[in-house]
A = this chain, B = another copy of it.
């Protein structure tokens, strides 16, 4: 080893030991014949000291010439500091250096390598290996490491077997966003990268593996959004002979274990809510439960009083912002403008202030009496000092808009504390959702999700109302995971494919192997998958997944550090029997 100790290890107990450390120069100070060097590695910082008269001249010269981020090895004696630094664990000691060697020099970094940096996003992505030196980033990846280890510990103890499923699989026309991989040996044929190991984990259940898990890379060639990555990591799980309740309990256990072991936190019980309730009360299938502000439907109270906007609306719905009656006119105008932005798209917003003196002031005083408004307030559980904000329009759109407004209010009122965690299971998702573009039903979760037995007859009469045995885990308004009890017999799977508009031939060509497997003794089974990048970000109290990925791609799916994707040579293309065509519009 090029060192006897790390830079985070030495304490007063080590006084007078002769030690060798190696690391990066964080800082050099030079004052009154003394030179101090802060030496950094992953484990901490230790101070080196050189003294004129005591250290030899060549060594002093070396010490004085050290630049930031030089890599050095230093040997010397552990001594007690005169001025202790109680901010770091090694702050009681320093190393009186007897020998120093520069192991590698460093150019001046393109940005400052400290918790607060002057480097912009692009520059830090290009020099990601330098950005990764910053404590804040390294700690995020260390958190990720701990999350992985603790996940595996829990799963192993719960009798799950980790099985690696293939990365080179088969493309399906349904998988329009598959990345494909041309085969050199089989010209004109392609593998595809998995969007999830779904069919393989179901086959493992058919194989009798009983409990499978994997922490696995998945791939999706999507038009990129800010917080999506073309490759992402899932905790992927599947179990046999279980019902929904078993799965919810087992994975509530996983999430509790992670909070306990990684963050030392006891998570509140994970509440459960149907999809219908989530939409009705929060306008959202992933409600943030760190604060209340549930929706209050006001149709009965607000309609028929001559206010045409409400009278013509399918839904009149509001939220009560506690203590916000003091919002100024300006603040209310800003909120109105905010909900009218194209991203939200509301036509307007009605406010009702419940003043401290018990009176009401609203933007619709022309249409409603004080008693009318009092009835609203009572229904909303509002007290003097509270503010009601009401939107109206068609059901889906209005709920969505009010959900956005609720989240913004929660943010503005400081109700979305990043150190507080509120988790819930959302249950009874619809099996199908109508897609306007293709004018047919799509599976809301995926085509392997089982419908609720009691809703089966509705499949023929009212497909949109059929509920699935599907569930999502939501933490702080972010969908962390989701899964379902699967279909495990061929007939029902074929029925599903038919309702999804697959011809029998298409279903056979794409999923024939799975349906055939169902004929050889498939057990009842179900599973779940968690977005691991997002789970780490939530645990780290961050909105962005990117910092929790060692080498992320940018919003255009590009790795700017290595410059990828990039053109390949004509020889490589020829080997693959491919040529690049100008894109047809």
Q: Which A30-72 residues sit within 8 Å CB-CB of chain B?
A: 40-43, 69-71
Q: Is the CB of B523 within 8 A of A71?
A: yes
**Chain B residue nearest in CB terms to A40:** B208
Q: A338–B107 Cα gap in the complex (Å)?
A: 61
Q: A182–B168 Cα gap in the complex (Å)?
A: 14
Chain B residues positioned under 8 Å from A415 (CB to CB): none
A135 to chain B minimum Cβ distance, whole angstroms, is 10
Q: A424–B231 Cα gap in the complex (Å)?
A: 38
Interface majority SS (helix, strand, loop, mixed), chain A: loop
Total contacting residues, chain A, CB less than 8 A:
127
A563 sits at the interface (CB 8 A): yes
A104 to chain B minimum Cβ distance, whole angstroms, is 5
A99 sits at the interface (CB 8 A): no
Q: Is the CB of A179 within 8 A of B180?
A: no
Q: Which of A145-153, A314-322, A366-374, A378-386 contacts B (4 or more CB under 8 A)?
A: A145-153
Chain B residues positioned under 8 Å from A144 (CB to CB): 163
Chain B residues positioned under 8 Å from A553 (CB to CB): 166, 168
Contact of A241 among B3, B178, B203, B566 (CB under 8 A): B3
Chain B residues positioned under 8 Å from A523 (CB to CB): 22, 24, 71, 103-104
A224 to chain B minimum Cβ distance, whole angstroms, is 7
Q: Which A275-322 residues sit within 8 Å CB-CB of chain B?
A: none
Contact with B along A555-577 (1 / 0, CB 8 A): 01111011111111101101111
Q: Is the CB of B576 within 8 A of A169?
A: no
A117 sits at the interface (CB 8 A): no
**Chain B residue nearest in CB terms to A25:** B521
Q: Is the CB of B521 within 8 A of A565?
A: no
Q: A219–B582 Cα gap in the complex (Å)?
A: 29
Q: A198–B297 Cα gap in the complex (Å)?
A: 59
Q: List 20 A-B contacts (CB under 8 A).
A: A2-B243, A24-B523, A42-B208, A104-B522, A104-B524, A106-B519, A141-B161, A145-B156, A166-B231, A169-B559, A169-B562, A170-B566, A173-B569, A173-B572, A183-B221, A186-B565, A187-B582, A203-B551, A577-B580, A578-B580
Q: A176-B572, A180-B181, A183-B557 are in contact. List 4 more A-B contacts (CB 8 A).
A: A145-B163, A164-B550, A173-B569, A185-B221
Interface residues of A (CB under 8 A from B): 1-3, 6, 22-24, 40-43, 69-71, 73, 103-107, 109, 127-130, 132-133, 138, 141-142, 144-145, 148-149, 152, 156, 161-171, 173, 176, 178-193, 199-200, 203-204, 206-210, 217, 219, 221, 223-224, 230-231, 233, 241-243, 246, 488-489, 513, 517-524, 549-551, 553, 556-559, 561-569, 571-572, 574-584
Closest 6 CB pairs of A and B: A106-B521, A132-B207, A170-B564, A189-B565, A69-B521, A2-B241
